[in-house]
Amino acid sequence: MANTHFFFALTLPDELKKELYGRIEQLKTAFPFKKWLHPADYHITMAFLGHASESMRNEAAARVKQTLEKEAAFPLILDEIGTFGRNDYPRILWAGVEFEQRLFDVQKKVYQACLEAGFSLDPKPFKPHITLARKYNGEEAFSLQQASSLTGLESKRFLASAITLYQTHIGASPSYEPICSVQLQ
């Protein structure tokens, strides 16, 4: 269990996961990454907890549920792909969403609830994204412009309606197991 970690994330609708996965299929042959995520693992991380005891997880889950009990679901728009790390050999390939203040407000509530439960969280600013692949290892330099044109990712609207606590299973595919979810109104 020491290698297991936990995180809260915005749950993506299954239809969106399927559509996103279908759009990136062409990228797999054109851009070799060491690991392409299973579509069931697509999510937007709200708070990374790391290793956590059951009592701390339960406390965080109860606080997140309480803080979001009157929170309404809201629309988001998938709109771009991007990378983290070097432009020519990126560490992460991701899909992003258009700016929506409600997403940032909900993330702050989840983050604060986890702090109140006793977690030490990463203080980096929230950058909402859906990780698609990790560790580019192609012989040719990566081209974000070419990758963007291959995905044909145009504005895709979806409803943000649940926050889920996930547990990782390193080496498994899919890697993330939902533990509990909070449905937004």
Residue in 5, 38, 43, 169 annotated catalytic: 43
Closest C-alpha to 48, from 168, 148, 137: 168
Choose the catalytic residue: 5, 38, 51, 129: 129
Say if residues 133 and 93 touch (Cβ distance below 8 Å). yes
Quick one: average pLDDT of 53-63? 96
What pLDDT score does 54 carry? Answer: 94
Length of the chain: 185
CB-based contacts of 142, cutoff 8 Å, min separation 6 = 31, 83, 87, 88, 89, 90, 136
Q: Name the residue type at position 126.
A: F
Cα separation, 181 vs 166, in Å, equals 9
What fold is seen in the domain 6-183?
Answer: Cyclic Phosphodiesterase; Chain: A, (3.90.1140)
The answer to which of 18-22, 37-41, 73-77, 120-124 has the lowest mean pLDDT is 18-22
Domain ranges of the chain: 6-183
Active site residue 169: no
Whether 129 is a known active-site residue: answer: yes
Res 2: pLDDT: 54
| Contact present, 41 and 133 (Cβ < 8 Å) | no
